[in-house]
Amino acid sequence: MRHFLRVLSTSAPALLAAALCFHFAMTAAYLTPQNPLQLRFARLISGYMNPFFQQNWHLFAPDPITDTRLLMVSCRLHEPDGSTAETGWTDITTPYWEGHLENRLGPATRLGRSVTGAARMIYTVDPTSLQMAKKLDQHRVRAEAGGGSPETAEAQVVDTLRSEVKKEQDAGFQLGKSVLERAGSAHCDSLYGPNRTDAVRMRLAVLKFPRFSRRDLPDSKGELTYYDFDWAPYQRVAPLDPATKDNLQAPVARRAAVAEGR
């Protein structure tokens, strides 16, 4: 036993250093602009980073974040008499951030990031792929105007890259959609009890802040836009309440219901 503990204490720093190097390497590969190497290992990189480690450089970008995004859920419940009823929209994002402010080491942050990260995977458009598509279209227009063939070797390479980028975006969309549907199912169970939900529907609310010229106005005076998902079948998932239980506060979903009732 002593020999095992001695080996473990000796190898632990090396294992920790290797784990940190792997994590930072994956993070760097995830944040670099689209390139052939990133596309080659896109599934491995995205599988590791999404949805818990997803991040971006908006804080340091020329165009900082200009909106607040909230996720809401509606539940389709079956009643004892065989009928169904659709509930109103419940904000499930704000309570997570409130829980994070109350307890920085609690689970609210991890849960909140997984949900908002999934929404970002669905609605974020990669600027590199858009620029790539624009360049390819311009190249083909010039080739056709000059009487040449638009299907040159260069165009075929760029077209292949576009195809790979689209596959990655489609995979991200499907993963984000699946995470949101499972999160919605968990919240419906927490809000209205288990075995009552037939379908769930998610809504993304985007509040754009007033422009800098109107910075004297509160954020609530900005432009509010809703994006509704289709109804999705209920999925049985682990209960949400044990994951959000805290001795000082009620579960996140239940607090959301109370806020919605006000």
Give 14-49 pLDDT, tens digit per residue: 888 888 999 998 888 888 776 777 777 888 888 888
The string of pLDDT tens digits covering residues 41-83 is 888 888 888 777 877 665 555 566 677 888 899 999 998 888 8
Read off the pTM.
Answer: 0.60
In this prediction, residue 74 carries a pLDDT of: 94
Nearest alpha-carbon partner for 169 in 46, 26, 11: 46
Banded pLDDT at 231 (limits 50, 70, 90): very high
**Region of residue 84 (left: phi > 0; alpha: psi -120 to 50; beta: else):** beta
Would you say 32 and 48 are in contact if contact means Cβ atoms under 8 Å apart? no
Q: Is the dihedral of CA 157, 162, 168, 171 positive or negative?
A: negative
Q: How far apart are CA 188 and CA 237, in angstroms?
A: 11
Nearest alpha-carbon partner for 170 in 162, 182, 180: 162
215 or 148, which is more confident: 215
In this prediction, residue 89 carries a pLDDT of: 92
The residue behind tokens 């596309």 is 39
Q: What is the arithmetic mean of pLDDT over 218-245?
A: 79
Three-class secondary structure of residue 195 per DSSP: coil
179 or 245, which is more confident: 179
Mean pLDDT in the chain?
76
